[in-house]
Amino acid sequence: MALMQSHWGGRGVKLLWVKRVVILLVLLNVFQLLILLNSENRPVKPSTALKDTPSSRPQGFSGRQSLGKPWPLLGAFTSWTVDPDLDPDSCEAFFGNGYTQAFTLLDPGPHSHARGSVVKEDSRVRSKRMQEIVESWREREVKQGLGQVKDEIHGVSSQTDEQAAQMGKQNKVYQPSPRGGLFQCFYSQTLRTSICEGTNMIMYPKKIKMSKGGELLFAVMGRNEEEELPYFTTGAFEIMVPEKEERRALFNKSMLERLIPVKSITKHTMHHLFEQIRTIPVDEVICAQRVSTPTIVVTRFEYANLFHTVTDWYSAYITSRVTNLKRRPRLVFVDGHCKSPMDEAWQAMFSGVHFARHLTGPVCFDHLIFAPLGYNSPLFKGLDLGLSCTGCAPEDIPNNPRHNTARIREFGEFFVAAMNTTANVMPQKAIFTFKVLFVRREDYLAHPRHSGKPESRLSNEVEVLEALQAWASSRSGMKREDGVELSVTIVEGLFAHWALHEQLKIVRESSIIIGAHGAGLSHLLFAMPRETVIVELSSPFFVRPHFEAMSQWMGMEYHKIDMASSEADCSEVIRDLDQIFLGLIRRRDYKLTIP
């Protein structure tokens, strides 16, 4: 009996230990689950890899962001911290960091300012106020149990705006702040325009008159450009104000002219958009869907031209930086343009791209930002100003802080990183292939009004190509001291038939980029500034400063071969190119035997 008791007693002890282990494992799993859930609701911190320093720009708008692509590590990145003492005539101010004057048009705080007046404030005060707003968003969601925030943007349905809004109300899509939204603009004295942003805003897609956008090109051939550009009816965008406040226009005429002047832009769509923004009491707000991820509104004009698209890309990029977004934002195209080869890059650079007329409205945005038009971009405005700005590495800026800049290189690096481009470039000591990219202009359909035949800037393009190929053959075969031969290759840049990532790859691999004036040379912004030389064949009929200026802003070597007409003298082109080639070989110290 005693033996039996001992046997069962030992078994009981074992069972007790098993129960304890099982309970411990369950508790550990529950603890890990709680940590995971807590981390998912925690705001994303900025990447330390970006060398981000505390900024005096508003933090609160972007603090709530938890979704979206992270910013890549950029060697040319420098902080976008506001410097109130920044010289407005400096290159740093011109290329984007000159948006230093903060103006508040709407403040939901307890000490709100007089309605209808522009109030200039210190942006550090705005930072604290906006952070408080964002924290109140989080607390309110927890207390009121609103459920999961839906960050996906839904497409068009057959519902009217009113039906979609009613459905959103039933599903508790949005519970607005009882104090309404905040709206402010950052004005650049240098560029004479503003980047504006607001919280608790609403977009009504069907109040924007334009084509749907995003169609295949062949489906909309012949469509008029006016149909693709937006016309805003009253209240196309609204911003929330406290209950029982009267509806009114957000901007008055003097505000608008001061912050978003029209100047020489014939159809300033952003000016017209702001003119139609209205306030709406929060108790009247009904939305079909809610977007909590920061979203930038972009209107494009010459969307199928690489140069003009680059100005839009740059504008969207600096808008993200000026508003201190911790991750890459979404974009909403407020235009009705069809698909283009440039769409690949928009998708790669940002966290989502949507056409306004594809959305089921009304759409509520926690944080909505308005990018300046490409015509207000530094890359466009700088062409007529004769800026004495030189691109350099960030560490070289102090050598000449007024005229040196790393901003264009920073943008180029961001673009290349976003496109995930890897070039097959050999290290200098082992180089055996020297690529020369000849950018050609060829027949292609660019947009619904295009004939398919771009204007020729080089009438004997084929003859020039054959001369380049013969020259490359004559220069191939030079040997290094270790006996390795150098092969010079001419790459025929038929960009109209290449995907954008394919174009970018060959640009990164090329030591010389040569071509007549044309948008394709805009690729120089994405080349390696210390490794690539730009050669422009300049016709007297197309004298433009674009690529000489852009090369200088990148800190790249640039040469112009002037032509007497639209026909190039091939012997002169080869003679000049050969001198450029030999100079490059000597400077890079390839240790080649040059005949």
Judged by DSSP in three states, 322 sits in helix
CB proximity list for 454: less than 8 A, separation 6 or greater? 441, 442, 443, 444, 446, 518
Alpha helices in 260-381 (DSSP H): 269-275, 306-322, 343-349, 378-381
CB proximity list for 519: less than 8 A, separation 6 or greater? 305, 306, 307, 308
CB 197 within 8 A of CB 61: yes
Residue among 192, 195, 184 at smallest CA distance from 123? 184
List, for residues 396-455, the tens digit of each pLDDT value. 999 998 999 999 999 999 999 999 876 554 444 444 688 999 999 876 678 898 877 777
d(CA 232, CA 247): 18
Question: At 574, which helix (H) or strand (E)?
Answer: helix 570-588
What token pair was written down for 79?
């902080």
Q: 61 versus 235: which is more confidently predicted?
A: 235
Q: Which residue has the tokens 């057959």?
A: 158
Share of the chain above pLDDT 70, in %: 73
172: how many CB neighbours lie within 10 A of its CB? 12
Which part of the chain has CATH 3.40.50.2300?
421-446+455-593
Q: Average the pLDDT over 566-582 and give the result.
A: 93
Answer positive or negative: Cα dihedral of 108, 112, 116, 122. negative
Most trustworthy range by pLDDT among 1-10, 70-79, 445-454: 70-79
Residue among 270, 63, 111, 292 at smallest CA distance from 200? 292
d(CA 429, CA 475): 19
- pLDDT confidence of residue 33: 46
> Whole-model pTM above 0.85?
no
Q: How far apart are the first and last CA of the chain?
A: 107
What token pair was written down for 150?
């839906």
Cβ neighbourhood burial of 113 (10 Å; 0-12, 13-18, 19+): middle
User: Residue 237 — very low, low, confident or very high, per pLDDT cuts 50/70/90?
Assistant: very high
Q: What is the mean pLDDT of the chain?
A: 80
Question: At 435, which helix (H) or strand (E)?
Answer: strand 433-439
List, for residues 485-509, the tens digit of each pLDDT value. 788 999 999 898 899 999 999 999 9
CATH of 421-446+455-593, one of 3.40.50.300, 3.40.50.10470, 1.20.58.340, 3.40.50.2300: 3.40.50.2300
- CA atoms within 13 Å, Cβ hemisphere of 466: 5
What token pair was written down for 211?
């084509």
d(CA 595, CA 587): 17
What token pair was written down for 556?
């790249």
Q: How many residues does the chain have?
A: 595
Judged by DSSP in three states, 172 sits in coil
Judged by DSSP in three states, 278 sits in strand
Q: Which residue has the tokens 């972009």?
A: 298
Q: 224 versus 131: which is more confidently predicted?
A: 224
Number of H helices, E strands in the chain: 16, 20
- pLDDT confidence of residue 442: 79
CB 124 within 8 A of CB 324: no
Residue 212 has pLDDT above 50, yes or no: yes
d(CA 233, CA 259): 21
